[in-house]
Chain A
């Protein structure tokens, strides 16, 4: 007799292998903290495992994962209610020793200082490589709204980037 969980496990493994890095990277860039990003990613995949059980046909898996990750990250940002000290973020510090990657560090710093609504749209586009249409699906907005939001986010990023460059 075959194990009734086998199909579920195989399906989970397939989805996990396909989306694990992008999901973790998205949470990391949203929160700027490896431990918090790890906790969120873990929660996302545990919920996915339970959801596969009850809903064998989750429509758009990619959207489902990123909407959940995004919501959990926004909750974490809201609940932590702490002032973010960009210089103390381990994600930003990780590139400090490498002088060849100074511009990367500056970008990370500038990104970390953005409001969540700008940060999420930029991360989805620049780092996770989603199209405007995919981002619209995840954020629940229209494609023109994504385009406008990305422009504003880049303006804010440019401002932050210039401030950081002046400080150095």
Chain B
């Protein structure tokens, strides 16, 4: 096996990630290979230098900035969907369906007013129905009234 193979082992050894069998094979190779021993020393030197370079802590200003944007931020107002979902514990799809239905009903009610204002047919029909219903009722009342009046007159 060539030196390249053992140098990869050397790299793994300084990380403590070498198996016992590999350790033994590597030691055997190093005994007879001056070049790999030098390589091992260079690897160890770099490892030590890196170990002296301590981890940098997050600056206090950055920490405060992150916390102020997360847990210290005032709770944002619930969206309508969030309110429905959270309050009634309904699935998201159902909450959306409820919102869409509410929207359609609202739009339709506005359309009714607008159409009426514009003198369009639907509102006229509604008005006529209302008028007819009212008239029929009145007519029935008239009949009852009329019958009552008649019977009263007859009894007289």
Contact = CB atoms under 8 A, between A and B. Distances in A.
Where chain A touches its partner, the secondary structure class is helix
Contacts of B42: 158
Contacts of B75: 3, 5
Nearest to B72: A9
A9 B11 contact: no
Interface residues of B, number: 30
B65 to A, nearest CB: 6
Interface in A5-37: 5, 9, 12-13, 16, 20-25, 28, 34
B49 A104 contact: yes
A150 B11 contact: yes
A56 B70 CA distance: 16
Best-buried of A20, A25, A38, A154 by chain B (most CB within 10 Å): A154
Given A20-B58, A46-B66, A46-B69, A104 B52 contact: yes
B11 A106 contact: no
Contact of B86 (A4, A25, A106): A4
A78 B58 CA distance: 24
B15 to A, nearest CB: 6
Nearest to B39: A158
B71 interface: yes
B55 to A, nearest CB: 5
Interface in B42-71: 42-43, 46-47, 49-53, 55-59, 62-63, 65-67, 69-71
A41 B50 CA distance: 22
B29 interface: no
Interface of B: 7-8, 11-12, 15, 17, 42-43, 46-47, 49-53, 55-59, 62-63, 65-67, 69-71, 75, 86
